[in-house]
Structure formats: C-alpha cells, structure tokens
Amino acid sequence: MINFIRQRYQAASNILSIYFASHPLRLTTIFLSMNMAVLIVYAAIWAGFRFLIGLGGMGSVIISHLFYLLFFIMFFMVALSFAILYYNLSFRSKETKFLVNLPIKSRKISFLKFIESSVLAGWIPLAGFIIFIAVYSNINNLTPFMSLFSFVCIMPFLIIASAIGYLLCITILKFMNLKKGFVVICVLLLAAVLFYRYHKTSGNNILYLLSEEIIFFKISKLWFLPFSWAPWAIVHTENGNLLRAGVFLINLWSLSLLMLSLIYTYGGKVFRDLFFKYSLPAHKRSYHKNYLDKIFFLRIFPVKIANFILKDIKMFIREPVLWTQFLIFFGLLFFYFVNLQKFSYNLLSDVWKNLITFLNAFSVLCISSALTIRFVFPQWSMEGKNYWILKLSPVKVRDILTAKFILSFSALTFISMFLILLSDKMLGLKSGFMLLTAFITAVSIFSLTSFSLGLGAYFADFKKEYYLKAVESIGGVITLIVNFSYVVITIFGFTFVNHIFIIRKIPQKDTYMLLVLILWSILSIGSSFALLWIGISELKRKEY
Amino acid sequence: MIKTVSLSKKFNEKEALRNLNLNIKKGEFYCMLGPNGAGKTTTLKLLSGLLRPAKGKIYIGGVNITLNPEEAKKKIGFIPDTPFVYENLTADEFLNFIGNIFGVEKKLLKRKIDYYLDIFGLTEYKDHLLREYSHGMKQKIVYISSFIHNPEVLLVDEPLVGLDPQAIHLIKKMLKEESKRGLTILMCTHILYIAEELADRIGILAGGKLIAEGTLKELSENMNKLSLEEIFLSLTRNSVYD
Ligand SMILES: Nc1ncnc2c1ncn2[C@@H]1O[C@H](COP(=O)(O)OP(=O)(O)O)[C@@H](O)[C@H]1O
Ligand SMILES: [Mg+2]
C-alpha cells in the first residue's frame, strides 16, 4: 500500500516538476487563478448567506434546511461519481491489467482502487465544503474548534458515501450490466416521482416551502440514515449539545471503519470476478448500416462538419461510461421537479415572485452547468491518443471546434429550454417572465458551452490514457468554478436589479431591464469568444 | 518532394534533432535507420506537423508546413508506430470518417474502402468496433486510412510491428508498387533488412544527427564494408554509448 502511494506521489511530483520547468508562468497563473476562484466562491457563498439572513426569520429557516440538504445531495453525488470512477479505474484501465499480472493480492488492488476513486470523487466536494464551513463559521461567529470538528465529521461521511457508491457499482456489475443497471435506476427514479405525486400534502403558501412537510427536508434529516449524521453532529455541537454530537460522530466513524474493513476483506474476490468479466471485451456486435448515419439533423451542415458531429455522437452513444453519468443529472432533476410541483407561485408577493423566478432559473442553469462540465469539457481530452488523427487532418482547428460546439450547444439548449419552460409552466409564470428566463438561459448556455470547450481545449492532455479523469483534474475544477461563478453572477445580478426595480417601483422598469439584458448578453458572448479563442490558439500550439 | 532545411527540435533543453537537411525526390523510397532514441519518430512527427520545429523549415511538395499546414497535410499520409484509432467506431465508419476529412468523393471512397479491406482480409470484420481488433488489425486499418486519400508523401514509422507474415509481404509489395507509381516514401525503422530490401536511398540517424546518407552501394563503397549491418553498427557505436 505504502509502495503504491509512493509511486503515485513520485509520478505526480515528476509531472509537476517537468511542467514547472517548461511552463513556470502558466503554472503560476493556474495557481493564482485557483486562489482567486476560492475567493470568488467564498464571496458568493458569503453573499448568499447575508442575503438569506437579511430576509429575517424565513432566511434562517432556509439556512438550516439548506444545511441538511447540502449534505444529502453531496452524499449522492459522491456515491454516484464514485461508482462511475471505480468502474473505470478498476475494470477499464490498463493499469489494472498490469497490476493483476503482478504478484499482488487482488484485495490490495481493489482497496487501492477504492481509495483512489474516493479521493477523486471526494476532493471537490471536500474543498467546496471547507469553504462553505469557513463562511458558515465566520458568519455565525463559531470557534475554530467547530471548523476542525466539521472536518472530523466530513471525512467518515465521504468514506460512507464512497462505500455506498462501491456497493452500487458492484451490484450493478454483478447482477446486471451497465445498460440494464442504467435503465433500472431510471425506472426507480421515475417510480419515486410518481409515488411522490400521490403523496398529497396540503399547504399553499410560502411557509409550506419551508415547512418540514417537503419530503426531501424530511428525508435529509432522518436521524437513522447516515447522510444526516454529519450535519446533526455539527448542529448539535453548535448548540452545545456535545453528548448527542458525540453519538453521531461515533456512529459516523464506526460505520465508515466497518465498511472499509469489509471492503478490504471481501473486496478481493468480488474484484477478481468482475475483473475477468469486464476487462476484456467479450461481446462481438456488428454495427452494419447504422441508423445514426441517417440523422436528418446532420444534413443541414456541410459534410466537413457533419462528419465530426457524427463521429462524436457515435463515440458518445457507444461509451456507456459517458452516458451513465446522465444518472447524476436525472438525480438532480428528480430532486428538483418533485419539489416544484407542490408549489403555489401565484399567491406570492411580487418580491417573492421575483426571487422564485430567478431561483428557478438558477437551478436550471446549475444543472446545465453540471452537464457542461461532465460532457462538454472532456470533449477534447476525449480525443486522447487519437488526437493525431485530427492533428494530421487538413481541417482547420476552428472547424473541428465548430462541430463540437454545434453538437454540445444544440443538445444542451434542447435540454435546458425544456427544463426552463417546463418549470416556468409548473410555477405558472407570466409570459413576460418566461421569455426573460428563456432568453437568459439560451445566452447562458452559449457562454457555458464556450467556456467549457475553450478551457477544455486549453487543458486537454492528449497523452492521458483515461480521459474521464480530466473532469476531476485541475482544468476541470477551474472550468467548474468559471461556469459556476458565471451562473451565480448572472442570476444574482438579474435578481438584484429586478428586486430594486420592484422595491423602488421604478416606472420604466422594462426599458432598463432591456438595457441590462443587452449589456449582459454582449459581455457574455464577448467572453465566450475570448475563451474559445484562447482554447483554439492553445490547441494549435499543442504537440502530439 | 520532402525537403527540410536545418531542422531542429528540442524537448526541454534536450536536443532530439539537430540541423537535419533532407531532400527526397518524388517517387523516391527513403529509409531512415537509427538506434532507439535516435530521433526517427521525432523527425516523422515534425514532417507530418504533429510537432512544431524549434528551428528550420519543412517543405512538403513545395508547401511550407508551418505556414500553410492545411495545404501540406492534404499531401501527407502518416503511419505512426502505435495505431491509436477511435475504438468505438467500426472499421467501415472509421475509414469513411477519414475519407470525408480528406474530401474523397463518396462513390470512390466506398470502392476504395471495400478494395483495401478485401486485400487486407478484413472485410468480414468491417462492421465490428475497432476496440475488438488486435494490434496488427488496427495497424492494417491505419495503413488503409493513409492510402484512401491518395497521398503524395507517405511517412511510415516502424512499419511492421505486430503484423503477420502475409501482411508484411503484402505491405512490402504495396509500398514498392506505390513508390514505383510516384509515391514518395520516408520510412523509419531499426530493422535493417527492410531497408536493404526496399530502399532507394538510406540515411543513418544517431543522436539526433544524420551521420551518413546514400544508396546502399554508395554507403558500402564509402565504408569499405560489405553488409549494411556492419556499417550501421560501426557508425552508431559511439552515439549509443555517449
Ligand atoms: N515528448 C517528448 N518529451 C521529451 N523527450 C522526448 C519526447 N519525445 C521524444 N523525446 C526524446 O527524443 C529522443 C528521440 O526520440 P524518438 O524520436 O522517439 O526516437 P526513435 O528514433 O527511437 O523513434 C529520445 O531521446 C526521446 O527521449
Ligand atoms: Mg520511434
């Protein structure tokens, strides 16, 4: 085990020193922008808190709900991305084949992969959480002890989430295959939505939204489910209830250690079985006369561009690892729409209407930005070692980028337009608001796609064997932060401007709004082109 | 057809290629020999535009590849030492993709793909994903992909790794024929007998420098030696251990 860690450390430090020797400036820039990004996220969370606290009693109720909900969502996100990472690192990577050939116990390999996947799946949530706690304790004047304590809670929390992801992964692989597993999970989610539809609740005002009645708030606080243990422990310590906090903390650690030891003991055999089942391509299937070649959508583009789009579509569809990630997306949607349909928008005051409208747009954009990170950003790294084919081709980088852009942009626009219009409809928004949110969404999708493609090109590493790691790499995080900051700034900006219009009762509200909209669109599209340009010029300089 | 002027390449201060001057005529079959790490792959990647030169100029069919990459790349077919291909496409789809990139006309493309798949014995696998192909089969696909757009210049890196005897025979024959028909070929290898068998002219590269050049006859006359192997060993002895 120590040996492996040393090897990983050596590889990382070698890469870093080579990189530093060849591009000292760029590394420094990356380092600085990471710090900047941390500050931006800190400021954004801080502003959010201030705003909620400014709302008075309701705000603090929302904060306490949010706290549990945050852990709840984080738990499932970590579990799902763990499952996907573990599958790839264990059964799809060349390194595993190499390790299996060495005289190493398979339980050790399995455990190593477990650790590796959980670090990869957990480090971004962990970093986000640390910033969150920093803001939280700053605003509530908590002692440093609290921050430390939260850290002690979050570690076993992440381990348990990973272990759940592990169980999910091996259950699907053992009893089904990826495709069936995917379908089964989707059906389960759908069934849950339908079930929840008939789980009637009453309550038609804003207080309903904040009450314990909403099923996710209820679930996220259930004391006997592990995702609530960490927030309970933190909240109890905050209130000085150390005994209870201690119980939750002990629960967390004992469950995580138990799971770790079980995985260490029994993981070996499971790993060996699955390795032989999945690491070698066994199924032979022929793809004669593919229906994809006849998609009408492609006819409108010149052959040169349609060619690349078609290739990317096929690659996507035939790579289960890629589209199984849609599960994360469905999960998010599920959380969202289930809550939305119980909501009565029309009874609200103008201030709240404004808030809810943009909050809704914010959620849709967050989902879209998660999608761009997962699917658009790795578009270039995905080419990987095959990049020589594109680099040799007598086609301008710009055309290849255009193809990728068209594909990503149209798919995302389709999804997010559907989401925003549906959710607006469910809320019962007026058509003016609907138009506004739809427009904001469209322009934002343009920017998010451009940012992800541009930065993806900038950070693409064509020597990597395993491209999905790209998302968890530094470039992925920077893109995540850029996209997220963009969404936050956009929505905060519009909410704030509109809020002021409403409060001050400004008469030419619409004219001003139009002005703000035009200005914002120009800025967005300008920065989109700037990032795309940076990406292209870096790509041209990149060697194979 | 292929011309380089004092071409150099550095990887972090390490000089992989120093002042290479090549001049290969149309239809010539040029073999570049050299021990491992001599800079053969680097040369080919520079010529095909995968790497950017640190210094010097490259002309492919009279076109400067740094200034006008798209034009130059149309003339090039490149066969790398490891056949990385899109594993999730079928052979047929992959070859169509490549053909479309180079703007080969549709009917002609189909005829060519069928023809080459047939002579390489891959017709029966053409609708299988490339991820199910063996190394040698992928290598064959790469060969086909570089033939379908009728390149004027073919750059081949370690041509015969992982191929079966039939394929080796076939490829040797094809390369010979194409070269007679006017295709300019630059092949890099450390396997001497191929050079002896196929090359019009041989260059020996060691430590990033071209240390000898000429036809097989010229080389052996200059060195008072008989076999290519002895020439190669005596010329490269120093560079391997320096
Ligand atoms: N991407 C790279 N980064 C650093 N050094 C490289 C790189 N590619 C090749 N080299 C170095 O350049 C030299 C020539 O390599 P290469 O052209 O691959 O040799 P060969 O003649 O065996 O094909 C070697 O010493 C190798 O270490
Ligand atoms: Mg080589």
Report pLDDT digits (tens) over A350-384. Answer: 777 777 888 888 888 988 898 898 889 988 888 88
How far is it, in rounded angstroms, from Cα A19 to Cα A164?
36
pLDDT for res B129: 87
Report the 10 Å Cβ neighbour count for B89. 23
Question: How many contacts does A have with B, using Cβ atoms within 8 A?
Answer: 84
- What is the Cβ-side half-sphere exposure of residue A47, based on CA atoms within 13 angstroms? 13
| Residue B41 in contact with ligand 1 by CB distance below 6 A | yes
For residue A43, the CA-to-ligand 1 centroid distance in Å is 47
For the segment A520-537, the average pLDDT, to the nearest whole number, is: 95
* Smallest Cα distance from A287 to chain B, Å: 5
Report pLDDT digits (tens) over A29-83. Answer: 777 877 877 887 788 778 777 777 776 666 677 777 778 888 888 888 888 889 8
Please provide the DSSP assignment of A382-412 as one string. GGGGGHHHHHHSSS-HHHHHHHHHHHHHHHH
What is the bridge-based pairing of β-strands B184-189 and B153-157?
parallel
Total H helices, total E strands in chain A: 21, 0
B11 interfacial to chain A (CB closer than 8 Å): no
Tell me which residue has its CA closest to atom 16 in ligand 1.
B39
Atom of ligand 1 nearest to the CA of B40: 21
| Residue B40 in contact with ligand 1 by CB distance below 6 A | yes
> Of A14 and B206, which is predicted with more confidence?
B206
Helix (H) or strand (E) holding B16: strand B14-24
Report pLDDT digits (tens) over A279-293. Answer: 766 555 667 666 777
Under 8 Å CB-to-CB from B65, ≥6 apart: which residues?
B47, B49, B58, B59, B72, B73
Question: How far from the centroid of its chain's Cα atoms is residue B229's Cα?
Answer: 21
pLDDT for res A251: 87
Under 8 Å CB-to-CB from A491, ≥6 apart: which residues?
A358, A359, A361, A362, A365
Atom of ligand 1 nearest to the CA of A543: 1
Specify which residues B7 forms β-bridges with. B20
Among all ligands shown, which has an atom nearest to the Cα of B45?
1
How far is it, in rounded angstroms, from Cα A75 to Cα A162?
9
Residues 64-123 of B with CB under 8 A from A: 69-71, 73-74, 76, 78, 80, 82, 84-86, 88-90, 93, 97-98, 100-103
CB contact under 8 A, B97 and A386: no
How far is it, in rounded angstroms, from Cα A404 to Cα B61?
32
pLDDT for res A212: 52
Report the 10 Å Cβ neighbour count for A86. 25
Q: Does position A100 have pLDDT exceeding 60, yes or no?
A: yes
Write phi, then psi, for B14 (nearest 5 degrees). -85, 125
Longest dimension (CA), chain B: 55
Of A303, A319, A544, the CB nearest to B88: A319
For the segment A90-102, the average pLDDT, to the nearest whole number, is: 80
Helix (H) or strand (E) holding B113: helix B106-119
Write phi, then psi, for A410 (nearest 5 degrees). -70, -40
Under 8 Å CB-to-CB from B139, ≥6 apart: which residues?
B79, B83, B161, B162, B163, B167
> Which pLDDT band holds residue A454 (cuts at 50, 70, 90)?
very high
The residue type found at A290 is: N
CB contact under 8 A, B84 and A21: no
Q: How far is CA A149 from CA A87, A126, A133, A246, A260, in A?
A: 32, 14, 10, 10, 21
> Of A521 and A476, which is predicted with more confidence?
A521
Please provide the DSSP assignment of A6-25 as one string. HHHHHHHHHHHHHHHHH-HH
Q: Does position A472 have pLDDT exceeding 70, yes or no?
A: no
For the segment A433-443, the average pLDDT, to the nearest whole number, is: 91
How far is it, in rounded angstroms, from Cα A162 to Cα A113?
12
For the segment A110-118, the average pLDDT, to the nearest whole number, is: 89
| CA R_g for chain A | 24
| CA R_g for chain B | 18
Q: Does position A202 have pLDDT exceeding 60, yes or no?
A: no
What's the whole-model pTM score? 0.81
CB contact under 8 A, B100 and A21: no
Q: Which two tokens stand for residue B218?
A: 């010229």
How far is it, in rounded angstroms, from Cα A355 to Cα A362?
10
pLDDT for res B241: 43
Low-confidence winner among A298-312, A443-457, B195-209, B216-230 (lowest mean pLDDT): B216-230
Tell me which residue has its CA closest to atom 19 in ligand 1.
B37
Percent of chain A exceeding pLDDT 70 equals: 85
What is the bridge-based pairing of β-strands B201-206 and B29-33?
parallel
Report pLDDT digits (tens) over A379-393. Answer: 888 888 888 999 998
pLDDT for res B242: 44
> Of A102 and A517, which is predicted with more confidence?
A517
pLDDT for res A175: 82
Please count the residues of chain A: 544
Of A22, A391, A544, the CB nearest to B12: A22
pLDDT for res A21: 74
Helix (H) or strand (E) holding A157: helix A144-175
Q: In tens digits, what is the pLDDT along chain B, a chain of 242 residues? A: 888 988 999 887 788 898 899 899 998 999 998 888 888 999 999 999 899 888 899 999 889 988 888 889 999 999 998 888 998 889 999 999 999 999 899 899 999 999 999 998 899 888 888 888 888 899 999 999 999 998 999 999 988 877 888 888 888 888 888 898 899 999 998 888 888 888 889 998 888 888 888 888 887 777 776 777 777 777 777 654 44
To test the pocket of ligand 1, the residue of B11, B81, B240 to mutate (highest count of ligand atoms within 8 Å of its CB) is B11
Q: Which of A8-22, A191-205, A447-461, A473-487 has the highest mean pLDDT?
A: A447-461
